[in-house]
Structure 1
Amino acid sequence: MVQIPAFEVEQWMDKYENTPGVLNIAETCCASISIDQLVQFNSSQEKDARPLIDFSARLTYGAIRGSDELRQNIAATYNEDEGTAAAAPPGTSPLSSEDVIVTQGAISANHLVFYSLVGPGDHVICVFPTYQQLYAVPESLGAEVSLWKLTPEKAYIPDVAELESMIKSNTKMIVINNPNNPTGATIPKPILAEIIDVARRRDIILLSDEVYRPLFHSLEPRETPPSAISMGYQRVVATSSMSKAWALAGIRVGWVASRDRAVVEAVAAARDYTTISVSQLDDQVARYALGAAVRPRLIARNLELARTNLQILSRFVRDHSTVCSWVRPTAGTTAIVQFRGKDGTPVEDESFCKDILDRTKVMFLPASRCFGHGKTSAFDGFVRIGYVNETEVLRQALEKLDEYLADHLK
């Protein structure tokens, strides 16, 4: 029997997020929108001419790999690379709809990539901390997994020299998460280029989980890295979804994208054993949201929300600098903040989170449990905060947290 460890983040969320009256600042999606709100982002003069949902369509399995229009719209997000520091190298062909497979969320996309490409005898290197799935699933499939540790001293930017030292003769895959969950750090383009060069020289697959892309809310356009898939290496696999940056977690749509046709076909073959296709209704909503008439205004809304809320959280951390500290995130929706007691030592973050939830209804996650992979001391006192929710929810939560800190830590 395959041994699968508890998925700590998901179990914590499932246990506590429906607490009556909860102020949830553990959530990692941009504040979710409704279908009615989505329609308002359409800039087309003909927005009422074509309904978002075609109610006349028969609800068959639909296009197995995703509708061509949705896959074209997904490919366009990579080909345009709007606002990034660089486009694809000369000679790189545009990503096409044939390079994309639509999945049920990024969690399904990642699982299919591992299930298709990794097994016993393989070695996988994965950045750490990150979403637990990215190292737990390949390990459960029998692969040896090495954790490539990110540190606050280096602003959670990967050390490429360390990566080089971790490579083995059987290294099959390098896994990165850019922007990173939980730190909110961005791998800069020069470092990303070095990582890709390491992978290219050894013919290693690079899986880039880009579910928080393109929420580069604190970087200038010239500083924003392109997707790893846009940097000229054929064996890059990028995954993403509609959940985080696009505020549509409820439609459960994600994707796998790669210019390596062998990878695409392997994922497609594995997918026949799982979900077969995504809901036609979800596909229609996703293709509408990623269409040229909607996508720019939708991402602009989410970027503005992220910038507004990050300023509020930054002010809170600054005002409480005697008891908390962080590396300010540059992208995404999450940050990890360390809290210290009156004696300057880190709090026990799991009991800290539970006590705050019990006394104030404010919810966030203990990093040592949810990201510590065995509660390593590197995460003592750290909590993950999701700050791109409704601004008023964040304000109320931080006000209550301010009162708690005054009573218990100061």
Structure 2
Amino acid sequence: MVKIEPFEVEQWFDRLENTPGVLNVAETCAASVSYDDLVHLCEDKTLPDPLRRSQKLTYGAIRGSEQLRQRVASLFGRASEAEPLPAGNVIITQGAIGANFLLFYTLIGPGDHVICVYPTYQQLYSVPESLGAEVSLWRLKEENGYVPVVEELEGLVRSNTKMIVINNPNNPTGSTMPKRVLEGIVAFAKQRGIIILSDEVYSPLYHSLPDGQDAPPSVLALGYEKTVATGSMSKAFSLAGIRLGWIASRDRSIIEAVAVARDYTTISVSQLDDQVASYALSQPVMRPLLSRNMALAKTNLALLSAFIERHATVCSWVKPTAGTTALVQFKKKGVPVDDPKFVLDLLKTTNVLVMPANPCFGLGQDFKGFIRFGYVCETEVLIAGLEKLEQYVKEHLM
């Protein structure tokens, strides 16, 4: 039997997110939109309805429709001088979670070694371990803004290192790996023939970068063939409900290997999901959708930042620069709170839902007292949630 650790953040969500009347300030998708919202956002009112209602619902295009794969491929041209990615180097999956799992299932096994940034989405290190690989955690440090130090790879790499896993923007910290760091990782991996997997599910929500810092390119734009990027319609594009993601790689042999492995799992994605995603990634829809989500992220981050400034005696953080998540530490009289108990009591007394870093993103006591927020929800939800949290903090921590 395969030994796999419980996926803590998903277990916590499954137990708690449907609490009646919940104010969900833990959800990591930019506030979701409806099908009607997409049509309303579209800048070109002559664009036909994406749902082809008369089309028979067969398995459809096994790797994803040509139109959708072309539109996904075009996402990787940002800030890039590299050759455009061919549509054939993209495969459509059931969300980014399906993309990541399929990649590990295809490429990683006993005898392999994986280096993975930490903290990050637990799937990225627990699944390789479940497949028999050894995993070394590349620990991101608060004092470095949760940006990895490339020189530390020398102390982590082994002769059997097969993959380096990164997450940009990072979940749960909201940090951004700048281009120079990505270039350093690529140079290190290229010298040793190591595959790089970059989970880019929160890209391109680079909404709060420091002045003078440009949004980083995808890892696929940096001139190394053995790079793989995953993403989805869930986070930056507000469409978690269509369960659609992708794997893209400069190495066509990786895509072909994934396609063979997928025959044993999902075969294809829903034609309906494919059609809605294609529509959402068309320029007349994607432009206003991303503009809406960037504005929402900036507005809501300012609200969360003001809350933390008002309560600086009990709250601290590294302010996020991208994505939809923030990692905040709460203390009482200088001592970190017991974050799981804090989360459960907060939900019980106020109906506000956030996520504990331990055990959802930390091993042991690595992030004691830290809480992960998903702050790019509807602004009114965040305002109501912060008002209740403020009262709770005053009564219990101050």
- Which TM-score bucket, shorter chain as reference? over 0.9
State the secondary structure of the residue aligned to 2:336: coil
State the secondary structure of the residue aligned to 1:29: coil
Q: Please give the per-residue CA displacement for 1:24-55, whole angstroms capped at 9, x wherever unaligned.
A: 011000000000000112111413xx112000
Q: What residue is the counterpart of 1:72 in the other structure? A: 70
State the secondary structure of the residue aligned to 1:288: helix
Matches within 5 A, 1:210-359: 210-219=200-209, 222-341=213-332, 343-359=333-349
Q: Please give the per-residue CA displacement for 1:338-386, whole angstroms capped at 9, x wherever unaligned.
A: 0000x2110010101111000000000110110112x2x3301000000
> How far has the Cα of 1:23 moved from its partner?
0.4
State the secondary structure of the residue aligned to 1:66: coil
State the secondary structure of the residue aligned to 1:59: coil
- 1:371 equivalent to 2:357? Answer no
> How far has the Cα of 1:222 moved from its partner?
4.7
Give 1:389's aligned amino acid: C
Q: Please give the per-residue CA displacement for 1:186-232, whole angstroms capped at 9, x wherever unaligned.
A: 00110110001000000000000000000000025852100011111
State the secondary structure of the residue aligned to 1:181: coil
- 1:153 equivalent to 2:143? Answer yes
Which residue of 49, 54, 66 corresponds with 2:52? 54
Distance 2:294 2:40 in 1: 17
> How far has the Cα of 1:93 moved from its partner?
2.0
Which residue of 62, 85, 98 corresponds with 1:95? 85
Distance 1:233 1:40 in 2: 40
- 1:395 equivalent to 2:393? Answer no
Mean Cα deviation higher: 220-229 or 244-253: 220-229
Q: What residue is the counterpart of 2:6 in the other structure? A: 6
Distance 1:294 1:401 in 2: 36
Q: Please give the per-residue CA displacement for 1:101-144, whole angstroms capped at 9, x wherever unaligned.
A: 00000000000110110100000000000000000000000000
Q: What residue is the counterpart of 2:35 in the other structure? A: 35
Q: Please give the per-residue CA displacement for 1:57-88, whole angstroms capped at 9, x wherever unaligned.
A: 00000000000000001011112x1xxxx323
Distance 1:45 1:253 in 2: 25
Mean Cα deviation higher: 218-227 or 206-215: 218-227
Distance 1:10 1:345 in 2: 28
State the secondary structure of the residue aligned to 1:75: helix
Distance 1:379 1:35 in 2: 39
> How far has the Cα of 1:326 moved from its partner?
0.2
Give 2:391's aligned amino acid: E
State the secondary structure of the residue aligned to 1:12: helix
Distance 1:51 1:295 in 2: 15
Q: Please give the per-residue CA displacement for 1:278-336, whole angstroms capped at 9, x wherever unaligned.
A: 00000000000001221111111000000000000000000000000000000000000
Distance 1:125 1:96 in 2: 28
Moved over 6 A (4+): none
Give 1:142's aligned amino acid: G
Q: What residue is the counterpart of 2:372 in the other structure? A: 384
State the secondary structure of the residue aligned to 1:148: strand
State the secondary structure of the residue aligned to 1:21: coil
State the secondary structure of the residue aligned to 1:359: helix
Distance 1:64 1:33 in 2: 27
Give 1:297's aligned amino acid: P
State the secondary structure of the residue aligned to 1:153: helix
Give 1:397's aligned amino acid: G
Distance 1:113 1:41 in 2: 34
Mean Cα deviation higher: 22-31 or 212-221: 212-221
Cα distance change on mapping 1:222 and 1:152 into 2, 3 Å: closer
Distance 2:212 2:287 in 1: 15
Q: What residue is the counterpart of 1:26 in the other structure? A: 26
Distance 1:93 1:245 in 2: 25
Give 1:263's aligned amino acid: I
Q: What residue is the counterpart of 2:396 in the other structure? A: 408
Mean Cα deviation higher: 291-300 or 63-72: 291-300
Give 1:87's aligned amino acid: S
State the secondary structure of the residue aligned to 2:27: coil
TM-score, length-scaled by structure 1: 0.96
TM-score, length-scaled by structure 2: 0.99
Paired positions, count? 397
Give 2:385's aligned amino acid: A
Cα distance change on mapping 1:327 and 1:36 into 2, 3 Å: same
Distance 2:155 2:354 in 1: 35
